[in-house]
Amino acid sequence: MVGIISYGAYIPIWRISRDEIARAHGSATMGGERSVASFDEDSLTMAVEAGLDCLTGMDPKEVDALFFATVTSPLEEKQAAAMIASALDLRRDVLTADITGTLRAGTIAVKMAMDAVKAGSAKKVLVTAADSRVAVPSSDLEQIFGDGAAALLIGEDGVIADIEGFSTVINPIPGPWRREVDLFPRRFEAKLDTRYGYLHDLPTAAGMLAKKLNLSPKDLAKVAIYGPDPRSILGATKVLGIDPKTQLQDPLFSTVGITGTPHALLMLVAALEQAKPDERILCASQGEGSDAFVVKTTEKVEELKGTRRGTNYIKSKMMLPSYARFAAFKGVLDTGWPSQLPEMPRSPVVKYWRDEKAILPFYGMKCKKCGEVSYPIGRICMYCGEKDNYEIVKLARRGKIYTFVHDYLFGPGNIQPGDGINPATKAAVDLEDGCRVLMEMTDHDLKEVKVDMEVEMTFRLLHERAKFRHYGWKARPVRG
């Protein structure tokens, strides 16, 4: 039977207290905190992080297809999934697809993955889902939204949870929408959308599936469902006839927020992290209808516990000091980043294309004469001077800082109100494979950076030139 082989997740390190958001606008607080993508993060980079987590200890070359689900892709006419596949070091002949336009894109991607495996056109399909939505300042959505990503590897061998069935229903209600020219999502009438959209669609899809599989609410150990807000999720549990105290998977609202497209899958990941063998979990999304599927865990679910970071990312956090910093990160306060002045010495697009194998999947070179590993890839060994005598090797993603500098003259280009100029920290990092690389640092406290600090590589937006977004790897303190 087709099922889930592995899972992964990613939550940005940054959080902002909802009290801080409310204080900035003089409004009521919903309590708790929400996750916030950093200034150099977007849905593409978060999908890479979740994918890396999902593929921990696995050979990425075994993946046959990658689907990327989102409503906030940073690219309108360029396939983000292809860049994600390159960063994850998948094969060149994998099928890639961006699935977007609806908040149930993640569950649609799961259905596509199931069908591909059942049809025999792919043995393993990686589903990634991520969102970083921007809400109208001072609106309730600014407190409700959260940023994050989830990933599932779908296949037939080594399954930790069989997918027993899938159902779907469509309902083109006005609902939330966003045009190409809009920065913020729009709503018709929230109460109408909830009552005649969410509270109708999700129970309908779940009910169809329960009838198909001959299941009752008591047969479900956990229910991982998307909802536009916590109150709506509780309303759905009543319609579904489940106990919110024992069966509802924590919606993660108090610590993360509602992440949009990945949210149902993120809750499923959280449920699988705690699941025991032979337990059934219902996962359901909503958006212009609803998708629902049920998984039944196998004995192998125990083997995966503790091997993925998953929702443990929630425990690793740094608080944003002000609403102004939050607004800058979300792009509603212009700081001039990532756009750079033409004279700034940043890499040209043609170099990005030429060196793609080194930049995205992070490969270096190993000299066949002296055996030293170096980065970037060049014709001549920087250690012994040997010419055109090397092999391309995958570089390690962890290491220690050899030396560093805080560069105030050529920083990331963002001046945060109330916090002064934030310099770019440049560090020479000795990777575990012996390669020394010069990296920009991110997600760090300037006062805590020191020699011999352990760091790990993280996929981020580096800069923008000629309106092209340059992605690559930075170093961050090891999380968790």
Residues 184, 47, 267, 97, Cα dihedral to 10°: 90
pLDDT at 335: 64
Task: Kindly give the pairing relationship between strand 289-297 and strand 280-286.
Answer: antiparallel
Give yes or no for residue 432 having a pLDDT over 70.
Answer: yes
Per DSSP, the residues of 36-69 read E--TT--HHHHHHHHHHHHTTTS-GGG--EEEEE
Q: Which whole number is the average pLDDT over 207-235?
A: 96
CA–chain centroid gap for 402, Å, is 30
**Sheet of strand 373-374, all strands in order from the earlier edge strand to the far edge:** 373-374, 363-367, 390-394
Give yes or no for residue 345 having a pLDDT over 90.
Answer: no
| 416 band by pLDDT with thresholds 50, 70 and 90 | very low
| 155 band by pLDDT with thresholds 50, 70 and 90 | very high
pLDDT at 408: 79
Give yes or no for residue 341 having a pLDDT over 50.
Answer: no
In angstroms, rounded to a whole number, what is the distance separating the alpha carbons of residues 425 and 470? Answer: 18
The two tokens of residue 443 are 């997600």
351-388 pLDDT, tens per residue? 778 888 889 999 999 999 999 999 999 999 999 999 99
Give yes or no for residue 336 having a pLDDT over 70.
Answer: no
The CATH fold assigned to 3-329 is Peroxisomal Thiolase; Chain A, domain 1 (3.40.47)
pLDDT at 347: 61
Q: Which residues pair with 463 in a beta bridge?
A: 470
Q: Which residues of 164-201 are buried (b: 16+ CB within 10 A; e: fewer)?
A: bbbbbbebebebbeeeeeeeebebeebeebbeebbbbb
| Least confident window among 244-248, 453-457, 463-467 | 463-467
| 343 band by pLDDT with thresholds 50, 70 and 90 | very low
2-39 pLDDT, tens per residue? 999 999 999 999 999 999 999 999 999 999 999 999 99
pLDDT at 183: 87
Q: Percent of the chain at pLDDT above 90?
A: 81
| Phi and psi at residue 214, to the nearest 5° | 55, 50
| 411 band by pLDDT with thresholds 50, 70 and 90 | low
Give yes or no for residue 274 having a pLDDT over 50.
Answer: yes
317-334 pLDDT, tens per residue? 999 999 999 998 998 877
pLDDT at 387: 96
Upper half-sphere CA count for residue 397 (Cβ side, 13 Å): 17
Sign of CA dihedral 356, 362, 368, 370: positive
> By the 8 A CB rule, do 309 and 280 touch?
no
Q: Which whole number is the average pLDDT over 136-149?
A: 96
pTM reported for the whole predicted model: 0.95
Please identify which residue in the block is written with the tokens 């006839």.
241
Per-range mean pLDDT, top range of 139-148, 167-176, 414-423: 139-148
In angstroms, rounded to a whole number, what is the distance separating the alpha carbons of residues 46 and 37? Answer: 8
Q: ∠ CA(77), CA(81), CA(84), 5° rounding?
A: 125
- Classify residue 186 by its DSSP letter: B
CATH of domain 349-362+397-477: 2.40.50
What's the whole-number average pLDDT of the chain?
93
pLDDT at 182: 87
Continuous segment of H or E residues that includes residue 211: helix 199-213
The two tokens of residue 1 are 């039977």
Q: Which whole number is the average pLDDT over 450-469?
A: 90
Q: Which whole number is the average pLDDT over 164-189?
A: 89
pLDDT at 478: 97
| 191 band by pLDDT with thresholds 50, 70 and 90 | confident
Continuous segment of H or E residues that includes residue 57: none
Domain extent listing, the chain: 3-329, 349-362+397-477
The two tokens of residue 3 are 């099922």
115-124 pLDDT, tens per residue? 999 999 999 9
Continuous segment of H or E residues that includes residue 42: none
Given this chain, do its domains 3-329 and 349-362+397-477 carry the same CATH topology?
A: no
Give yes or no for residue 417 having a pLDDT over 50.
Answer: no
In angstroms, rounded to a whole number, what is the distance separating the alpha carbons of residues 301 and 278? Answer: 9
Q: Which residues pair with 346 in a beta bridge?
A: none
- Which residues have CB under 8 Å from 195's CB, separation 6+? none
> By the 8 A CB rule, do 477 and 453 touch?
yes
> By the 8 A CB rule, do 410 and 426 touch?
no
Q: Which whole number is the average pLDDT over 396-410?
A: 91
Give yes or no for residue 420 having a pLDDT over 60.
Answer: no
Give yes or no for residue 272 having a pLDDT over 70.
Answer: yes
Q: Which whole number is the average pLDDT over 259-284?
A: 98
pLDDT at 338: 58
Q: Which whole number is the average pLDDT over 397-401?
A: 98
Give yes or no for residue 275 having a pLDDT over 70.
Answer: yes
Q: Percent of the chain at pLDDT above 70?
A: 94
